[in-house]
Amino acid sequence: MIGTLNHNSKEVTIIGAGISGLLTAYYLDRRGYRVTLLEQKQRAGGLIKTSYSDYGMAESAAHSLIATPPVVELCKDLGVELIEPKKESKAKYIVRDGKLRRFPLTVGEVATTASRAAFVRSTNGNGQTLDEWGRKHLGNAAVEYLLTPFVRGIYGVQPEQLSVAAAYPSLSVPPGQTLLSSMMKKQKQRSRKKEAKKRVAPRFGMGHLVSCLSSRLDATLGPRFQTGHSVKVLPDAANLILTTPAYAAANLIEPESVELAQSLRTVRYTPIVSVTVFVNRKDFTRAVEGVGALVPACENRKCLGILFNSSSFADRVNDESNVASFTVMMGGTTQIEWLDADNEMIWSTVQSELLSLLGIREVLDLVIHRWPQALPQYSVDLPKVWQTAKETWCATPGRMLFGNYTGQISLRGMIESSAALS
């Protein structure tokens, strides 16, 4: 979150009711602020929505989140039941040479990676991309088969497009330390704090979290929570929090700060096509259980990664013994053409990817979500945008920016940031 509240007033107007706007409204309302929340669409939730096919549920964006204490407390208060992953589904896969592998590196590559992590000392890493960081601390094989698939799966981009400082500040290795020594130090601190790192999902999907937040705000804000209200001009308010994407915030801020508007427009977004498929278990040619599979760019496949929905969590399909569900992520910065592909083309491509990677012969049904601007790119230029915001519009108390481009892309990060706001 960028900026601070104006503590001389308890009035706050929030523009945008995606998850970041809903959370901000929820926490400030609980702390006694008189909140007004304005959303342009008829439905709150922004990217997040759970839809249903005849076979089960399909998430449009977030599927799961990390159960830190603020996450658990929020869901308890809203009556959102969180479920843990199935015990038998721990396996994570990666594609190497066209096949799923449990651990992607050869013995020699592991030795190189380990010795780099243990011996290569860091120098000042400001402005370093994840690719530069990875090649220095882990070596080339680990970049291709550990880092690339991981960040493609999460951000839809390549490591050379991500800034370590912006996307993974915890990976910054202090000058003079090695990656291994710095990780061991952080691990010690974490176990002292007993940080919970369990992945969970709402039993009835992320849409249930959004609808519980919306219902709570409907009840507490009444007519001050308006959907179908597109804000074109910034209202006069002592506290104004913009929780829209960066490009929408730029249009609203332009009359008050051309400099910040121009800077916000430099934030690039990655396109993602998320395809949830339902398949008949009888069509499996081999057992497929686990969390999911990541796909390195050098494998030249049509997908970025595959989430094994029904094998990870219960209640993702209506008939667990006969149907399974997966979400195939496509697009990203390297294959933007999938945004314009028609449904038949996506269907046949997903079917052939599932056949060759998982041995699944036929797709029963699929639900496609196309996001032209899905996720902000945490590039080396993003911290400059944050700095411009702090020095211009957000320098005035009561002028704030919050969303998945302001420092936290995950729901867990957003819940923690908005819970800390007072």
Binding stretches for ligand FAD (CB under 6 A): 15-21, 38-41, 46-48, 61-65, 230-231, 243-245, 248, 272, 274, 371, 374-375, 403-404, 409-412
Please tell me whether residue 96 adopts helix, strand or coil conformation. strand
**Angle 346-367-50 from CA coordinates, rounded to 5°:** 145
CB of 201 to ligand FAD, least distance (A): 9
Closest residue by beta carbon to ligand FAD: 18
Number of alpha helices (DSSP H) and beta strands (DSSP E) in the chain: 15, 17
- Cβ nearer to ligand FAD, comparing 41 with 224: 41
Contact status, residue 7 vs residue 398, Cβ threshold 8 Å: no
- Cβ nearer to ligand FAD, comparing 180 with 339: 339
- Cβ nearer to ligand FAD, comparing 56 with 305: 305
- Cβ nearer to ligand FAD, comparing 113 with 404: 404
- Cβ nearer to ligand FAD, comparing 47 with 221: 47
CB of 34 to ligand FAD, least distance (A): 19
CB of 355 to ligand FAD, least distance (A): 23
- Cβ nearer to ligand FAD, comparing 392 with 404: 404
Residue 112 — φ and ψ, nearest 5°? Answer: -60, -45
- What CA–CA distance (Å, rounded) separates 237 from 251? 18
Please give the structure tokens belonging to residue 143: 């970049």
Within 79-223, residue ranges assigned H as helices are 107-119, 130-137, 140-142, 148-155, 164-167, 179-193, 206-221
CB of 121 to ligand FAD, least distance (A): 33
Name the one residue in this structure whose structure tokens are 């220095």. Answer: 136
CB of 408 to ligand FAD, least distance (A): 8
Neighbours of 96 (CB within 10 A): 19
- What CA–CA distance (Å, rounded) separates 407 from 399? 17
CB of 167 to ligand FAD, least distance (A): 13
